[in-house]
């Protein structure tokens, strides 16, 4: 297990533009400080306490910078400093729901208030899940009621490797955590469904539920309809496959509508793509979710110049990479197109084919890459690139075969009637 970093005193300077003021809270893997920016006023600064999780913290932090929604805390930037890894976030002024429950619960909060909070939390999580992100630490402490309603804060982006079994040790707050997290199984959006349901339960009854809690809500919450209890119990199912599948389904069962302002999606394409922009963006978005990548892109060959033109991307640095043109055979993607073979690069920063100058220019230097050709009728017409597994691990050769199958499906979709001729990129790319 990695050594935990020492406490930083008030007044510590970060990146020569932020100053730590005081510690606000501490979780299993990160401490959150109130800080001040030389330009911009107060901020919240999360510091990773375990240096062994630095790669994961960096990868996920860069992705969180791209989330934009009025009910999700804004991440300003990720910093790597001699004192450690940091995320600088907007400081959400207000009272968190744990404090409100402790100060005003009798033992729980009024049903009307709880349903309003449930609606707003569900708006935040629906957006987050649509972006292939799982919060991992939903609880009353991480829902802050500000002047414009609830804001979801403090993503649980780090996890500790269990030394004894090589699995994942649970990070979060017991009783709000989904059972699969406690036993080291895969975390998914359904894990957040469980945690949100446990949060709603706690706000109603004054404490989170025990697993398979027999407490009848209808007898303890005045005015609670049977549908409320049925919905919460369906969302609190022990096995994730038996649980309500989405936060939207939970909200629907509670009888609340999701009306929050839509956030900015993480997928985008060039202004004049070689195929339908929504299809290209869906390919990048789905590929990232399928392979747990922090970023994904689709590049197509311009037959007039043989350059690779990045048509669409999802995730970190998406805005910077779309429209970029790469000379023939340049970089890892160019090598893949030239050879017609997929590559899994566990350490692309030390790979001689890696176009490091281009990566620095777009502001994203990945740790690991998985790149496969898009092949039609035996000819490589482009490349699908996946950057950085979000668990901090590296892509390996077995991943190539799965990615090739995904690429075959993508090419088939691009060749459907009504699509532009994707081999004529030069006449369409903006």
**Comparing C-alpha atoms, which of 87, 85, 84 is closest to residue 75?**
87
Query: How are beta strands 18-26 and 13-14 bridged, if at all?
Result: antiparallel
d(CA 395, CA 346): 5
Domain ranges of the chain: 13-90, 95-254, 267-427
The dihedral built from the CA positions of residue 212, 217, 219 and 220, taken in this order, carries a sign that is positive
Measure the CA–CA gap between 169 and 159, rounded to whole angstroms: 7
Instruction: State yes or no: is 137 an active-site residue.
Output: yes
13-90 to CATH, choices 1.10.540.10, 3.30.420.10, 2.60.120.10, 3.30.200.20: 3.30.200.20
How many whole angstroms separate alpha carbon 200 and alpha carbon 73? 20
Do residues 369 and 346 make contact, with C-beta atoms less than 8 angstroms apart?
A: no
DSSP string, 174-197: TTTS-HHHHTT----HHHHHHHHH
Question: Cβ distance 267 to 353 under 8 Å?
Answer: no
Q: Which residue has the tokens 């893949």?
A: 336
CA–centroid distance for 213 within its chain: 30
Query: Rounded distance, CA 337 to CA 299, Å?
Result: 10
- Tens digits of per-residue pLDDT, 163-206? 333 344 445 567 899 999 888 888 999 999 999 999 999 999 99
User: Given its phi and psi angles, is residue 136 left (phi above 0), alpha (psi -120 to 50 degrees) or beta?
Assistant: left
Residue 423, pLDDT score: 53
Closest CA to 137 of 230, 46, 233, 1: 46
pLDDT value, residue 430? 36
Q: Name the burial class of residue 249, with classes exposed (0-12), middle (13-18) and buried (19+) by CB atoms within 10 angstroms of its CB.
A: middle
Q: Which of 96, 98, 130, 137 is catalytic?
A: 137
**Whether CATH 1.20.1250.20 fits 95-254:** no
Average pLDDT over residues 221-249: 94
Give the architecture-level CATH label for domain 267-427. Answer: 2-Layer Sandwich (3.30)
CA dist 311 and 299 (Å) reads 5
Burial class (CB in 10 A: 0-12, 13-18, 19+), 35: buried
Q: Which pLDDT belongs to residue 168? A: 44
pLDDT at residue 161 is higher than 50: no
Nearest CA-CA partner of 58 in 348, 361, 316: 316
pLDDT tens digits for range 68-101: 999 999 999 999 898 889 999 999 999 999 999 9
Q: Which of 46-55, 269-278, 375-384 has the highest mean pLDDT?
A: 375-384
Cα torsion through 224, 153, 249, 245, rounded to 10: -120
CA dist 191 and 296 (Å) reads 24
């Amino acid at each position: 297990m990695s050594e935990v970093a020492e406490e930083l005193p008030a007044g510590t300077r970060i990146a020569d533009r932020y100053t730590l003021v005081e510690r606000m809270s501490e979780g299993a893997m990160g401490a959150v400080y109130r800080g001040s920016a030389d330009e911009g006023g107060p901020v919240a600064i999360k510091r990773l306490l375990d240096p062994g999780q630095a790669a994961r913290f960096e990868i996920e932090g860069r992705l969180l910078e791209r989330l934009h929604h009025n009910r999700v805390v804004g991440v300003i930037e990720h910093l790597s400093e001699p004192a450690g890894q940091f995320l600088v976030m907007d400081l959400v002024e207000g009272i968190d729901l744990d404090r409100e429950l402790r100060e005003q619960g009798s033992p729980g909060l009024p049903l009307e208030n709880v349903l309003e909070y449930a609606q707003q939390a569900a708006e935040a999580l629906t957006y987050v899940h649509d972006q292939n992100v799982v919060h991992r630490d939903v609880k009353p402490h991480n829902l802050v009621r500000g002047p414009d309603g609830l804001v979801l804060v403090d993503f649980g982006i780090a996890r500790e490797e269990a030394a004894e079994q090589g699995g994942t040790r649970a990070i979060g707050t017991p009783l709000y955590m989904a059972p699969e997290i406690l036993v080291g199984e895969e975390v998914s959006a359904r894990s957040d469904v469980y945690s949100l349901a446990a949060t709603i339960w706690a706000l109603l009854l004054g404490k989170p539920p025990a697993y398979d809690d027999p407490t009848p809500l209808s007898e303890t919450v005045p005015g609670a309809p049977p549908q409320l209890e049925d919905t919460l119990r369906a969302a609190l199912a022990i096995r994730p496959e038996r649980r309500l599948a989405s936060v939207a389904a939970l909200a629907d069962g509670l009888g609340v509508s999701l009306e929050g302002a839509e956030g900015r999606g993480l997928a985008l394409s060039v202004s004049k793509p070689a195929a339908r922009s929504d299809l290209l963006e869906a390919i990048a978005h789905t590929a990232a979710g399928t392979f747990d990548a922090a970023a994904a892109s689709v590049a197509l060959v311009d037959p007039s110049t043989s350059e690779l033109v990045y048509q669409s991307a999802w995730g970190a640095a998406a805005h910077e990479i779309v429209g970029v043109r790469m000379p023939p055979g340049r970089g890892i993607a160019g090598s893949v197109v030239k050879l017609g073979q997929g590559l899994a690069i566990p350490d692309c920063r030390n790979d001689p084919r890696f176009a490091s100058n281009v990566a620095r220019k777009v502001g994203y230097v990945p740790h690991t890459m998985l790149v496969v050709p898009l092949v039609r009728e035996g000819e490589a017409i482009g490349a699908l690139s996946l950057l950085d597994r979000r668990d901090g691990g590296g892509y390996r050769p077995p991943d190539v075969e799965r990615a090739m199958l995904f690429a075959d499906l993508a090419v088939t979709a691009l060749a459907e009637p009504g699509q532009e001729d994707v081999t004529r990129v030069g006449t369409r790319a903006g």
